[in-house]
Structure 1
Amino acid sequence: MDASRTPALPRARTLRLLASLTVLACSAALLSGCTKDSSSSRKDGATTTQAAVPQVANDLQDAYLKVIKEVLPSVVQIQASHDLGSGVVYDDKGHIVTNAHVVGNEKQFRVTTANNEDTLTATLVYAYPEQDLAVIKLDKIPEGLKAAAIGDTAKVEVGQIVLAMGSPLGLASSVTQGIVSATGRTVSEGTTDGGTGATIGNMVQTSAAINPGNSGGALVNLDARVIGIPTLAASDPNLGGSAAPGIGFAIPASMVKTIADQIIKDGKVTDSGRAALDITGRTVVDDNYRPAGVAVVAVKSGGAADTAGIRPGDVIVKVGDSDITTIISLSEALAAQKPGDKTKVTFLRGGSETTVVVTLGEI
């Protein structure tokens, strides 16, 4: 998603999920009006129904307005030298959480808040591309700066109404609406268009529109709590790589809090919470040039794979119940695990297949 398509707007970074998307068949429920008989012979019922529908709509609108008023002042626009994204005020000390791909390799940024026309400056605290998260800090804290409330990922459910807040295409303080359409997604970013190449587990899938510039902003529930950081939108290779409408992904709030707290306290990530085999690997292909596994190039001495007896030259073809054909599929399988978990790893060595139990390490 390239902001060059809209030359009147600031250039914004886009990530595309280069994966084949399954077309989901959905049925739409239509609200039908009363029949002539019900409106004429059941006047009491008709009157009640006609009054209730606008009231429900008004109540929902009031809920939206309340959430926007509560959270939008905590969502900022972040401008790097060439790229633009969003961020969320994390505390009253001026820390702002955003995506690592928003900050890139830069150290200094310009920040605009929703209720302050003055451009502020901020400095990078630390970027963690492995989870596509980063924290920057305002050089001067403006009066009235308000931190967002972070929600509980465990309470996120499919069907919940959510609002995505950020600066799509440079349009600051924009809000889109949708629902949580899935949870627990494992998504791999590309490395083109500025992506970090990270594989991120337990992501929140949403139908709320996520466009260039939304990255790093807030996905908010109707309790005015941030439940995720919008990070990327899906693209369909069958449509020339264009965005697939209504499919976006947000890093869950629990992971955001875990990583941000460590960065603020220690200036870096000391405990990733991400499982690892402690190997360096590469994708290998079969005789028909189809991906067929991950060849182990190097093994960390004393690490998870080394302890289990996996050696350089082995080709990993399965982790747990997941078939492994590429380095990305290996990363996705590990993203669903935790450090210390025990899992079966199947590999090929000298034409023979071997399965071992590995106690996973940590990235």
Structure 2
Amino acid sequence: MDISRARAVALMVAGGCAVALAGGCYGGRTAGPESTTQAAPPAVRGESGLETDYRTVIRNVLPSVVQIEAGDRVGSGIVYDANGHIVTNAHVIDSEKDFKVTLATGDEPVAASLVAAYPEQDLAVVRLDRVPAGLKPPRFGDSADVEVGHIVLAMGSPLGLSGSVTQGIVSAVGRTVSETPEGGGVGATIGNMVQTSAAINPGNSGGALVNLNSEVIGIPTLAATDPGLGDAPAPGIGFAIPVSMVRTVADQIIRYGKVTDSGRAALSVRVRTVLGNGYEPSGVALVEVAKDGPADRAGLRIGDIITRLGDDEITTITSLAEALASDRPGQKVKVTYQRDGKQRTAEVRLGKV
């Protein structure tokens, strides 16, 4: 099964509103003192405790989920603070700078402009030109508390149907997923994603993945596709960027207008995929090594072919990016490489992007 951006259906422009994908991480607790949680409404006859929980979560969080129109694309976003900042996926905004944001109240769309995008994590922040009364950010959870089996709700605007909610569970955590530009993504490789069975469709991207404590734990971003079904979305396999990464990136964009510390590990090299005798990908050759960077300090040089990073086999540029996405700056890893036809190893202390 390939992991890629789901193609938009006839209602959507191809590549505009990619379906959601999951992730996991660590991060802050709340959006600020303005965040509130409402009490559960009175139960209706025959309603189970779980149904009451669902209704409470929807009442608490859905007002914080917005629809974003970026040119001829439609996606989702989350109110990030009371100052009018909205966080979403970078692929939702694409190359646009100005947007129309429709709040959950259903009032007329509010104009918004781009603060900054960070395609490396497929995240972006836009700001409303005016802050409507009662703008409400949700509570943000802690990625470290996300566990397989937790019940979650995905909220957004699938196929342009604003205010839609689906339910499922956390299927896995710590997934590393590579987007495909051909499928409408920005080509990012994202680590620690949350996998979920909650149905995610085109337009859900940038919305909210929420637990039963009414806390946002991720941003739905990608969906798996099955080549055996003509690259149609694979039912029940979606991914979300973990809330810890969302908060790390969004806080920096709001404060500095850009990301100053990505937290992503790097070798500080430029590489190309090399083919073996059977014309299959068999490693990545170094075509540029940054002076005094991690690879340079470990003795690697132009022409070396990396075949393994730690326990991960490296055959392509994508596999190297996926391996690095699971590591952290400052971590020491063993690099296996070939030079002049001989296999060698080196210990590298990873830098950061």
**TM-score (normalised: structure 2):** 0.89
Q: What is the CA distance between 1:193 and its match in structure 2? A: 3.1
Partner-residue secondary structure (3-state), 1:175: strand
Q: Counterpart amino acid of 1:5?
A: A
Instruction: Provide the residue aligned with 2:116 in structure 1.
Output: 126
**CA–CA separation in structure 1 for the residues paired with 2:94 and 2:274:** 30
Mapping for residues 200-215 of structure 1, pairs under 5 Å? 200-215=190-205
Unaligned runs of 5+ in 2: 1-5, 22-44
2:280 aligns with: 290
- 1:171-226 C-alpha deviation (Å, 9 max, x unpaired): 00100000000000000000113211111000000000110000000000000000
Letter in 2 for 1:345: V
Q: Which residue of 155, 159, 167 corresponds with 1:177? A: 167
Instruction: Name which structure has the greater RCO, CA cutoff 8 Å, separation 6+.
Output: 2
- Structure 1 SS opposite 2:113: strand
Q: Give the aligned partner of residue 13 of structure 1.
A: 17
Matched, 1:84 2:88: no
Q: Tell me the residue number matched to 1:195.
A: 185
- Is 1:305 paired with 2:310? no
1:270-306: per-residue Cα shift (whole Å, max 9, x none)? Answer: 0000000000011111111111001111011111111
Change (3 A) 1:218 1:16: closer
Shift of 1:116: 3.5
CA distance in 2, matches of 1:334, 1:71: 34
Amino acid at match of 1:233: A
Q: Answer whether contact 1:74 1:147 (CA < 8 A) is retained.
A: yes
- Residue 142 of structure 2 corresponds to residue 138 of structure 1: no
What are the equivalent positions in structure 2 for 1:152-167 lying under 5 Å apart? 152-167=142-157
The aligned amino acid for 1:314 is D
C-alpha distance in structure 1 between counterparts of 2:18 and 2:345, whole Å: 40
Which residue number corresponds to residue 104 of structure 1?
Answer: 94
- Cα offset, 1:236, TM superposition: 1.1
| 1:11, distance to aligned residue in structure 2 (A) | 8.7
Structure 2 residue 107 is the aligned partner of structure 1 residue 117: yes
State the identity as a percent.
Answer: 62
Q: Would the aligned equivalents of 1:188 and 1:200 in 2 still touch at CA under 8 Å?
A: yes
Offset from partner CA, 1:306-330 (integer Å, 9 cap, x none): 1111111111000001110111110
1:204 and 1:58 map into 2 onto residues whose CA distance is 28
- Once the 2 structures are TM-superposed, how far is the Cα of residue 135 of structure 1 from its aligned partner? 0.5
Aligned mates of 1:11, 1:77 — CA distance in 2: 17
Aligned residues: 325
1:68 aligns with 58
Flag the structure with larger Rg. Answer: 1
Q: 1:50: which partner in 2? A: none
Which residue is 1:328 aligned to?
Answer: 318
Which residue number in structure 1 is paired with residue 248 of structure 2? 258
Q: CA deviation at 1:12?
A: 4.5
Q: Which amino acid aligns with 1:292?
A: S
Match of 2:37 in 1: none
Q: TM-score, normalised by structure 1?
A: 0.87
Q: Report the aligned-residue RMSD.
A: 1.7
Structure 1 Cα separation of the partners of residues 62 and 270 of structure 2: 43
Q: Distance in 1 between matches of 2:264 and 2:16?
A: 29
Rounded to whole Å, the distance in 2 between the matches of 1:16 and 1:350 is 44
2:308 to 318, 328, 338: 318
1:42-61, aligned counterparts within 5 Å? 58-61=48-51
- 1:228 and 2:218 equivalent? yes
Which structure has the highest helix share of the two?
1
